[in-house]
């Protein structure tokens, strides 16, 4: 009798736990779906707004689909020849800058992860301090100028290639993901440090390479302030800076116009703003899905474990 009552109590407990588990899963999925909508909808709204009448957007008539498809903003935006040159410049800056960033930050992170590195703690402190205290814009500008990098291609890819944050992330990844026994086995086979790094460590580090590569590429692609400070040659300016200049010029033309012309220019200017956002972010958005697997893995391993 006692055993039967005990089994009955256990079954009721399992049923209650089952319902609580379902409620918990429902809550988690609901929150996740809401967060996805909150992230995706602004991006979707920018896309549909770039194809919509700016008046409909301003009046709140656009929610999920354009009421009237228009390409005026894109047509007017792509009339500028500087955009194609800026696109090419930005692609080159991103590719070269990402390569240089990986070549600088990944070996530095690997070196800091080695226990036999003399003065490792002091070197780590040397990298961490600039994350909180910097020299400021004017000293940086003077350094760049004294090195003869002003108005050159290399000013956007060399001076700012070192990232203390990326180095710390890479160091943590190597320290926690690459077993020390692998280095001992490599030493027994006569493998040196450099060969060990290139032939054994890098093939096992696709996750952190993808993460740091993506972070570096996104940073360079979206960068415009450094170009505005250090580059005055229009032939070397990146896409973001050119789009900014085009929008400012159109805004000034709108302010000088009046009547119906001002209304038309305002609508065209708004459509160009949305179109510029889509044009400037689309390549990075298309790149991310191919690196998502490595990105998730690298972030979890490289930033949480220590």
**Is 60 exceeded by the pLDDT of residue 302?**
no
Q: Based on the fold, state whether residues 120 and 166 are members of the same structural domain.
A: yes
pLDDT for 306 equals 45
Q: Based on the fold, state whether residues 184 and 215 are members of the same structural domain.
A: yes
Q: Based on the fold, state whether residues 279 and 184 are members of the same structural domain.
A: yes
Q: Is residue 61 part of a domain?
A: no
Confidence of residue 305 (pLDDT cuts 50, 70, 90): very low
**Is 60 exceeded by the pLDDT of residue 3?**
no
Q: How many domains does the chain have?
A: 2
Residue bearing the bigger pLDDT, 256 or 218:
218
Q: Based on the fold, state whether residues 7 and 76 are members of the same structural domain.
A: no
Q: Based on the fold, state whether residues 168 and 28 are members of the same structural domain.
A: no
Q: Based on the fold, state whether residues 183 and 259 are members of the same structural domain.
A: yes
Domain that includes residue 180, residue range: 72-304
Which phi and psi angles does 158 have, rounded to 5°?
A: -100, -55
pLDDT for 11 equals 58
Q: Is residue 180 part of a domain?
A: yes
pLDDT for 57 equals 67
What value does the mean pLDDT of the chain take? Answer: 78
Q: Based on the fold, state whether residues 180 and 236 are members of the same structural domain.
A: yes
pTM, rounded to two decimals? 0.75
Rounded-to-integer distance, Cα 53 and Cα 46, Å: 12
Confidence of residue 93 (pLDDT cuts 50, 70, 90): very high
The pLDDT of 235-256, averaged and rounded, is 74
Q: Is residue 184 part of a domain?
A: yes
- Report the CATH number at residue 273: 1.10.3720.10
Please provide the DSSP assignment of the chain as one string: -HHHHHHHHHHHHHHHHHHHHHHHHHHHHHHHHHHHHHHHHHHHHHHHHHTS-HHHHHTT--SSS-SS---HHHHHHTT-HHHHHHHHHHHHHHHHHHHHHHHHHHHHHHHHH-TT-TTHHHHHHHHHGGGT----HHHHHHHHHHTT-TTSGGGGTSTT---HHHHHHHHHHHHHHS-HHHHHHHHHTT--HHHHIIIIIGGG-HHHHHHHHHHHHHHHHH--HHHHHH---GGG--HHHHHHHHHHHHHHHHHH--HHHHHHHHHHHHHHHHHHHHHHHHHHHHHHHHHHHHHHHHHHHHHH--
Q: Based on the fold, state whether residues 175 and 40 are members of the same structural domain.
A: no
Q: Is residue 205 part of a domain?
A: yes
Q: Is residue 183 part of a domain?
A: yes
Which phi and psi angles does 191 have, rounded to 5°?
A: -90, 130
How much is the CA Rg of the chain, to the nearest whole Å? 27
Q: Is residue 58 part of a domain?
A: no
Confidence of residue 129 (pLDDT cuts 50, 70, 90): confident
Structure tokens given for 130: 């600039």
Q: Is residue 10 part of a domain?
A: yes
Q: Based on the fold, state whether residues 26 and 80 are members of the same structural domain.
A: no
Residue bearing the bigger pLDDT, 223 or 288:
223
The pLDDT of 159-174, averaged and rounded, is 87
Rounded-to-integer distance, Cα 216 and Cα 232, Å: 23
Residue bearing the bigger pLDDT, 294 or 205:
205
Q: Based on the fold, state whether residues 36 and 170 are members of the same structural domain.
A: no
Q: Based on the fold, state whether residues 133 and 181 are members of the same structural domain.
A: yes
**Is 50 exceeded by the pLDDT of residue 51?**
yes
Most confident stretch, 5-9, 40-44, 197-201, 279-283 = 197-201
Q: Is residue 122 part of a domain?
A: yes
Q: Based on the fold, state whether residues 234 and 287 are members of the same structural domain.
A: yes
């Amino acid at each position: 009798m006692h055993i039967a009552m005990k089994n009955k109590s256990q079954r009721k407990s399992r049923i209650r736990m089952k319902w609580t588990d379902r409620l918990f899963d429902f809550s988690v999925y609901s929150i996740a779906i809401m967060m996805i909508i909150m992230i995706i909808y602004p991006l979707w709204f920018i896309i549909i707004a770039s194809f919509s009448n700016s008046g409909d957007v301003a009046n709140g008539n656009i929610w999920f689909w354009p009421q009237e498809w228009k390409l005026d903003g894109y047509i007017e935006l792509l009339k500028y020849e500087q955009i194609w040159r800026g696109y090419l410049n930005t692609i080159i800056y991103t590719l070269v800058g990402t390569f240089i960033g990986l070549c600088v930050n990944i070996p530095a992170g690997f070196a800091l992860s080695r226990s036999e590195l003399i003065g490792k703690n002091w070197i780590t402190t040397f990298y961490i301090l600039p994350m909180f205290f910097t020299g400021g814009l004017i000293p940086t500008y003077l350094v760049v100028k004294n090195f003869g990098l002003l108005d050159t291609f290399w000013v956007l890819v060399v001076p700012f290639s070192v990232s203390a944050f990326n180095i710390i992330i890479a160091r943590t990844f190597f320290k926690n993901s690459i077993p020390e026994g692998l280095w001992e086995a490599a030493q027994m086979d006569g493998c040196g440090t450099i060969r060990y790094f290139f032939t054994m460590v890098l093939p096992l580090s696709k996750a952190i390479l993808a993460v740091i590569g993506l972070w570096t590429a996104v940073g360079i692609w979206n960068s415009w302030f450094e170009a505005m400070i250090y580059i005055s040659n229009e032939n070397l300016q990146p896409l973001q800076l050119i789009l900014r200049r085009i929008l400012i010029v159109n805004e000034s033309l709108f302010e000088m116009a009046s009547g119906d012309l001002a209304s038309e220019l305002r609508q065209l200017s708004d459509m160009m703003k949305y179109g510029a956002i889509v044009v400037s972010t689309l390549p990075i958005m298309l790149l991310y899905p191919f690196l998502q697997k490595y990105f998730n893995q690298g972030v979890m391993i490289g930033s949480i474990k220590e």
